[in-house]
Amino acid sequence: MVSMVLKPMFLYLSKNKVLNRGAKRWGLKMGAKQVVAGVTIDDAMRTVSELNEKGLVATVDHLGEFITSREEAIESTNYCIETLKAISKTGVTCNLSLKLTQLGLDVERELCYENMRKIVGTAYELGNFVRIDMEDYAHCQQTLDILADLRKEFPNSVGTVIQAYLYRAAEDVSDLQGVNLRLVKGAYKEPSEVAFQDKKDVDDNYLSIIKQHLRSGSYTAIATHDHMIIDKVKSFCEEEGIAKSQFEFQMLYGFRKELQEQIVKEGYTMRVYVPYGTDWYGYFMRRLAERPQNVSFAIRGLLSK
Ligand code: FDA
């Protein structure tokens, strides 16, 4: 009941441009540091290094919201390249996650593609990997098209995400055999024309596409905080003799830390998604919307200031 009020409220707040812009000047506030690594590349590298010490690997994301100009898209591209260089310099075990709208997808497709070529080219040279996060349905086909073009040049340096709530997910997974995919339930509000609305249908399809990609021998990243799904994946892989090196689990920074460490102790790879940057506000509000119980982060953060 409470979440029915809080969820839309946090989603609404996440889109508020005035608050998003204001937050850039505040530094991390309202408990955001529980789920955001900091505002600088050094903050991110420090956090990743601490995770590595515990046996966790990572993927970093330089946060960015509302990119509407070429200049902003190029600035964001430069941050991604600098982040890849910092990963290489510090020697941490970490790759890069990004969103195509941050690189100008809504400004001009060609600009976005050229920005991606520079970033993935850098990752290739440094022996690293770039994951294209999947955004809302309106950007889905464009994302898959850009991935296909990039893979012609850099087949093993880039992958993307498939969302189980979309009806098209199984077909996309089948088209992307051999590609390193992150599989998720899906985070956006999509209509019934394109996406399952019922949680059980989403969970069933999620498990089904995970099995499909694993059975095809493809590397699979299972990104979920859902222990039921994680347990089912572990059992499935044991039954089918799928090696632990063919898949990894992923969770967001600051969520279910004990479970993350437990999974590492069991010998699985656990990759933590580590966001950083001054544009933390929208990301933080979306996490509160996803799981309003996390509002305790915000309350604790407010009380500690
Ligand atoms: P869900 O929210 O369905 O929860 C299932 C159950 O798990 C809960 O009922 C509860 O029992 C337990 N649980 C969940 N969270 C918990 C917590 N914090 N503490 C205790 N118990 C908890 N989406 C997208 O559209 N595009 C993308 O690119 C990505 N990328 C991405 C990367 C990574 C690393 C992650 C972890 C997630 C994403 N997502 C995403 C988000 C994803 O689509 C999804 O919205 C969220 O992960 C929430 O769904 P879950 O699968 O975690 O479980």
Please report the pLDDT score of residue 198 as a whole number: 96
Q: Give residue 297's pLDDT.
A: 61
Q: What mean pLDDT comes out for the span 39-59?
A: 97
Give dist(CA 289, CA 174) in Å, integer: 32
What's the gap in Å between 298 CA and the centre of ligand 1?
Answer: 19
Q: What is the mean pLDDT of residues 149-157?
A: 97
Distance CA 168, CA 209 (A): 11
User: Domains, the chain, ranges and CATH?
Assistant: 37-276 (3.20.20.220)
Residue type, 197: Q
Q: What digits encode the pLDDT tens for the residues 261-285?
A: 999 999 999 999 999 998 888 888 8
Long-range contacts of 251-260 (CB under 8 A, 24+ apart): 251/223, 251/224, 251/225, 252/35, 252/225, 252/287, 253/35, 253/36, 253/37, 253/47, 254/34, 254/35, 254/36, 254/297, 255/35, 255/225, 256/225, 259/225, 259/227, 259/230, 260/56
Q: How many CA atoms lie within 13 A of 179 on its CB side?
A: 25
Ligand 1 atom 3 nearest Cα: 226
pTM of structure: 0.94
55-66: average pLDDT: 92
Q: How far is the CA of 225 from the centre of ligand 1 (A)?
A: 5
Confidence of residue 36 (pLDDT cuts 50, 70, 90): very high
Known catalytic residue: 287? Answer: no
271 included as an active-site residue: no
The pLDDT value given to residue 29: 67
Cα dist from 282 to 13, 32, 270, 278, whole Å = 8, 10, 25, 11
Q: How far is CA 244 from the centre of its chain?
A: 21
pLDDT over threshold 60, residue 305: no
Rg (CA), the chain: 18
Atom of ligand 1 nearest to the CA of 226: 7
Q: Which residue is closest in CA terms to ligand 1's atom 9?
A: 226
Residue to mutate (ligand 1; options 225, 271, 287; most atoms within 8 A of CB): 225
**What ipTM was estimated for this complex?**
0.98
**What pLDDT, in 10s, does the model give residues 163-180?**
999 999 999 999 999 999
181-201 pLDDT, tens digit each: 999 999 888 999 999 999 999
**Protein residue whose Cα sits closest to atom 36 of ligand 1:** 251
* Angstrom distances, CA of residue 1 to CA of 4, 5, 24, 76, 292: 5, 7, 32, 39, 11
Ligand 1, atom nearest to 136 Cα: 25
Query: Which is the catalytic residue, given 131, 182, 271, 287?
Result: 182
**Ligand 1: centre distance to CA 186 (Å):** 8
The more confident residue out of 180 and 298 is 180
Rounded distance between C-alpha atoms, residue 302 and residue 279, angstroms:
19
Mean pLDDT of 146-167: 98
pLDDT average, residue stretch 149-164 = 98
Q: Is the pLDDT of residue 259 over 60?
A: yes
Query: Are the beta carbons of 107 and 69 closer than 8 angstroms?
Result: yes
Query: What is the per-residue pLDDT for 1?
Result: 55
pLDDT value at position 154? 98
| Mean pLDDT value across the chain | 92
190-216 mean pLDDT: 97
Residues with CB under 6 A from ligand 1: 133-134, 161, 163, 184-188, 223-226, 250-252, 255-256, 273, 290-291
Task: Identify which has the larger pLDDT, 294 or 167.
Answer: 167
